[in-house]
A and B are shown apart, each in its own frame.
Chain A
Amino acid sequence: MRRLFIIALLALFAIQGLMALGTPEKTNEQVKTITWWHSNSGLAGKASDALVDSFNATVGKEKGIQVQAVYQGKSNDVLTKTKAILQSNTTRDLPDLVQLDGSAVLDIRDQKQLIAMDDLAKADGYDLSNIIEAARLSVTYKNKMIAMPFNSSTILLYYNKTAFEEAGLSHTPKTLKELGSTAKALLKTDEKGKVTRYGFANVPTTYELIVWLGQQNGLSYITDEENGHTGPPTKVLFDENGTMVNFLSRWKELYATGAVENLTSDLNGAFASGRVAMIVASTSNLTTIFSMVGDRFEVCVANFPMVDEKATGGVNVGGGAIYALDNGSGNQAAAWEFVKFAISAEQQLKWHVATGYFPVHQDTYSLQAFEQHLAQNPHYGVAIRQLMASNPKLQGIWVPSAYQIYYAFQSGILKMLQENRSAEETSKALEREINSYFSEFLRMQGQ
């Protein structure tokens, strides 16, 4: 009986092999298939499918290119899978295009399989100044644009307008100092003195500090090598240029109002439930937060508060970009056609309307349809005006051990608040810890 079973199983495998042999190979030499790995789910997933469909039906059909979009999980998962292939050297399994977020840069930028978008654009005679400068610089490494910004976002202040009106507040905070007084006005406690509504909630870490440190004095770098955009950073600059101490002192004052909660996760939930009246979050959270809040209260957005009056640098561009990889199929030009289509003014408008990521193509901003959209959805306009007024050189940091650095900031700042350490001491401690990650990285690379 068992033998019979084994024979049956073997037969089944054999038949499967035959079936695989019989699969018709793509005989049509004219059609090039481009694979695009992405992490767009939900609304963004639908929008990217629509983008691919419309490419395949128009430009793709004309030029004999078909794009196959593959959802590979969260941005992190996409990176893990791509890295696995890059390390195993099975280059032909690589996708032609892969969408990754900022944390992927370090792993991907020096790979020999990476084809810089800069080169693809040059080969096609495409003028990259069509892409807005801040977005372009956000993927520029050693003066070369290595990827194409695609799902770009910035940080914003979200506030509970109903609570603002209730507290008699007429305008939003411009600086951390004003944020403190506004938060205090929004603070609500019950009879027993227990806080029922905090004015603001946050424990600053990498995402916020890029802006709060970088915007000081017009523009300040957080690490050397221009925040890691010209090479691996060797040390942080926030202690010697005083930006960290300045920020931490202001943050201490803010925290001393008692209206700030040290919240590190589920800020959207805390905001939507009305327990916290103001949060800072990415523009890509716009749709989520609005739907979470529903009609419980009125949500509005405003510019991200500045550290102080002298911190005029504005905000940086975050989010993700599309990288082109060489998998030996010689599809680079075809892949570029799709990228060009995806960032065209019209497609960027559709992408923006569907997802809230802001358009990276200059011309989108002068489209009439775009102006109409902004008139109907003034919230989107806030983020865009804020970005346009920012210093395009204010950029995210490309650092090794990003997770460790994230927690170093978070726990360093918490320690300062809870153990009442000085801003200077905290800044020094952070410098020491983060520099050790940098030197560790360089040591490992044999530099």
Chain B
Amino acid sequence: MKLYRTWKVKPYVLVLPALLLAVVFAYRPFVITILNSFHTVNLGGVRMQFVGVENYQRLFASESFQASLSNTLRFTLFFVPTNITICLSAALLSNREGKLATLNQIFFFLPMAVGLSSAMMIIKMMFNPSIGIINHLIGADIQWFNDPKAAMALLVIAGVYLDIGFNFLLLSAALRNVPKELVEVANLEGAGKMSIFRYLQLPLIAPTLVFVLMTNIKDAMLISSPVLILTEGGPFRSTQTLVYQMYLEGFKSGNYAMGSAIATVVFLLTFTILLSLLHLERRRVYYQ
């Protein structure tokens, strides 16, 4: 009897530390954020008054928020396909035997080992329009930080660089798990590289691909650190993303209610997109 009881307590004790951390650092802030977004909150972070959806109304009416929303969606639209194409091509190209292939894989994987901030600082120097190496190499005079289009492109480049290591790792592991016999059989039957990819590899790596797609969308919707370091939302708000605006409102302007409202919007938006994708995945992707 006594033994039975200790067994019943043990799982709770074991889950407690993780639960505690989750409550303190995730669930509680989550609830507070949603609460704040329905109140006015003063500079000291004290909730003053319940205002219903007024914060949201003001938010959607503001030009700055509209810019952030459209920038974030634009970024996601550019970033996700570019990133997946590049990571998948890299994984396919380096999916072979031999020492050189390993070296290749290491190169693709390497960006993961460089800290985000340091990488962004280096990119900032490389893309400096007047003294940077990139303009010098391509012999162009692109105003990376002054032209809205170029700044968005730069952000996509930075985003791809940040994600390539991890995505490459996942995709290349998935490709390796494709049974070699099947590929050999297909080869013997005279299938070309394209059809092997299309009919054999792609269906088999689909679950991983969906995972990569989802994390990419999440990363794109929540992008802020590269913006913070590279462009600070400029020029002319053209790279001001939702989470960057949340940072501005909450931490720079001390407007916690607005910051919370933005955070809630970002959460709902990302959550909806991911849910609908998940729905699609259930119907289209088959697990082995």
Contact = CB atoms under 8 A, between A and B. Distances in A.
A, B assembled together:
yes
A307 interface: no
Interface in B231-277: 233-237, 240, 248-249, 251-255, 257-258
A441 B257 CA distance: 11
A270 B42 CA distance: 42
Contact of B235 (A265, A275, A408): A265
B129 to A, nearest CB: 6
Chain A contact residues: over half helix, strand or loop, or mixed?
Answer: helix
B130 interface: yes
B164 interface: no
B46 to A, nearest CB: 9
Given A433-B63, A444-B257, A446-B49, A403 B252 contact: yes
Given A263-B146, A264-B234, A404 B129 contact: no
A273 B258 contact: no
B62 A402 contact: no
A27 to B, nearest CB: 38
B279 to A, nearest CB: 37
Interface string B21-51: 0000000000000000000111111001100
Contacts of A87: 44-45
Nearest to B233: A407
Contact of A410 (B128, B235, B252, B255): B235
Contacts of B254: 106-107, 400
B38 to A, nearest CB: 13
Nearest to B145: A265
B133 to A, nearest CB: 13
A444 B130 contact: no
Interface in B119-139: 128-131
B146 A441 contact: no
A402 B43 CA distance: 14
B130 A273 contact: yes
Chain B contact residues (Cβ within 8 angstroms of A): what range? 20 to 34
Interface residues of A, number: 35
B104 to A, nearest CB: 35
A263 B258 CA distance: 30
Contacts of B235: 203, 264-265, 410, 414
Contacts of B237: 407, 410-411
Interface in A160-217: 203
Nearest to A195: B141
Given A265-B146, A273-B130, A401 B253 contact: yes
A80 interface: yes
A410 B40 contact: no
B64 interface: yes
A264 B49 contact: no
Contact of B43 (A272, A436, A445): A445
Interface string B201-235: 00000000000000000000000000000000111
Contact of B129 (A80, A110, A270): A270
Contacts of A441: 253, 255
B130 A400 contact: no
Contacts of B40: 443-444, 446
Given A265-B235, A446-B49, A440 B258 contact: yes
B128 A269 contact: yes
Given A87-B45, A264-B145, A446-B48, A272 B253 contact: no
Considering residues B62, B130, B145, B258, which has the most beta carbons from chain A within 10 angstroms of its beta carbon? B130
B284 interface: no
Contacts of B128: 266, 269
B158 to A, nearest CB: 16
B58 interface: yes
B131 A269 contact: yes
Contacts of A110: 43
Nearest to B58: A440
A411 B236 contact: yes
Contacts of A444: 40-43, 48, 255, 257
Interface string A249-282: 0000000000000111110011011010000000
B253 A403 contact: yes
A274 to B, nearest CB: 9
Interface string B53-64: 000001000111
B129 A266 contact: yes
A87 B46 CA distance: 10
B115 to A, nearest CB: 16
Given A269-B130, A273-B131, A410-B236, A262 B146 contact: yes
A264 B146 CA distance: 6
B253 A400 contact: yes
Nearest to B131: A269
Contacts of B146: 262-266
Contacts of A410: 234-237
Interface of A: 80, 87, 106-107, 110, 203, 262-266, 269-270, 272-273, 275, 400-404, 407-408, 410-411, 414, 433, 436-437, 440-441, 443-446
Given A407-B64, A440-B58, A444-B257, 18 more contacts: A264-B146, A265-B145, A266-B129, A269-B131, A272-B130, A400-B255, A402-B252, A403-B253, A407-B236, A410-B237, A414-B235, A414-B236, A440-B258, A441-B253, A444-B40, A444-B41, A445-B43, A446-B42
Sorted from nearest, which 3 A-B pairs have the closest CB atoms? A269-B130, A273-B130, A411-B236
16 contacts: A80-B251, A107-B254, A203-B236, A263-B143, A264-B234, A265-B145, A266-B130, A266-B146, A269-B130, A401-B253, A404-B248, A407-B64, A407-B236, A444-B40, A444-B43, A446-B48
